[in-house]
Amino acid sequence: MAQKRDNCIILLLDAPEPEKISQELKTAFGPERAAHVNSDLLLNVYKMAKSFPEAILILSYEKTVRHQDLSWLDQEDPGFLEVKNRSGEDRMLDAFRLAFFTGAKKAVLLNHLSPEIKKDWLYQALDAVSDKTVVVGPNQDGSLYLLGLTQQNLKLLETPGFSHGKNAETMTERAKKNKLSVFNTPETYAVTGEEALRKWMESREVLPPLFHNEPPRPSAPPPAPEHKKHHKRHGKNGLEIPLPPTPEKPPL
């Protein structure tokens, strides 16, 4: 793997507000719930990308009146590439251009709607991408969750119409028309409805416990009945001397 400065991960972020959420999510979950689901998905992919050791991170974000920075995502406020009234495709192209302008040789764009992206897949993508190879990560619905390019292949993004629908297929076709090979990372799914959301939530709930290797502790012995408990006193030699049992009261 090359030096960290040579690689870049790109995320497109939107404020956690209903009006900033895609219509697809709002149709599936309703405006308010869609905002919460979208924020959870953003936080999930952001944590993974931030902790990836072999790449810098570029965040594309449009400020709003209620959310001027990214402190809602990270208390450290990581900073971002500010965009204003730009379409998703323009934002993607601008972010890739910035990545290469700042010295990256390879850049990978991630889609936050795919929550099962693995770090191993990022390593695969960065190893495979080159001037002759484009990396596409496909979702089960035909959309893409990952796109890996070099500066030489930015021409694939210069023609509009690559960000919607089955865009994994669209990008694959464009690459082949430009006589480029395509490397696919493993297929996964995107959260665009209740079934996929439930699948993700269930996968989060079955994670192994933190202390699964710790031996089980012996169960505590049952407490002694109250009438059998007696205080103890010590003699001069330090030995414990049991007190005589308390006499029972005669029956009335």
Is pLDDT above 80 for 136?
yes
Average pLDDT of span 196-218: 63
Is pLDDT above 90 for 28?
yes
The domain ranges of the chain are 4-197
Average pLDDT of span 39-58: 95
Percent of the chain with pLDDT over 90: 65
pLDDT category at 228 given cuts 50, 70, 90 is: very low
Residues forming a β-bridge with 9? 57, 108
Buried b (16+ CB within 10 A) or exposed e, 114-126: bbbbeeebbbbbb
Say what the pLDDT of residue 200 is. Answer: 94
Q: Which of 52, 54, 20 is nearest to 34 (CA)?
A: 20
Average pLDDT of span 233-245: 48
Q: In whole numbers, what is the pLDDT of the chain averaged over residues?
A: 84
Global pTM reads 0.78
Is pLDDT above 90 for 192?
yes
Average pLDDT of span 192-218: 68
Average pLDDT of span 217-233: 50
What's the pLDDT tens digit per position in 143-169?
A: 999 999 999 999 999 888 888 779 899
Compute the distance between CA of residue 153 and CA of residue 151 in angstroms, rounded to an integer: 5
Say what the pLDDT of residue 88 is. Answer: 85
- In CATH terms, the superfamily for domain 4-197 is Spore Coat Polysaccharide Biosynthesis Protein SpsA; Chain A (3.90.550.10)
Say what the pLDDT of residue 215 is. Answer: 45
Average pLDDT of span 47-56: 95
Is pLDDT above 50 for 49?
yes
Percent of the chain with pLDDT over 70: 80
Say what the pLDDT of residue 203 is. Answer: 86
pLDDT top residue among 67 and 205: 67
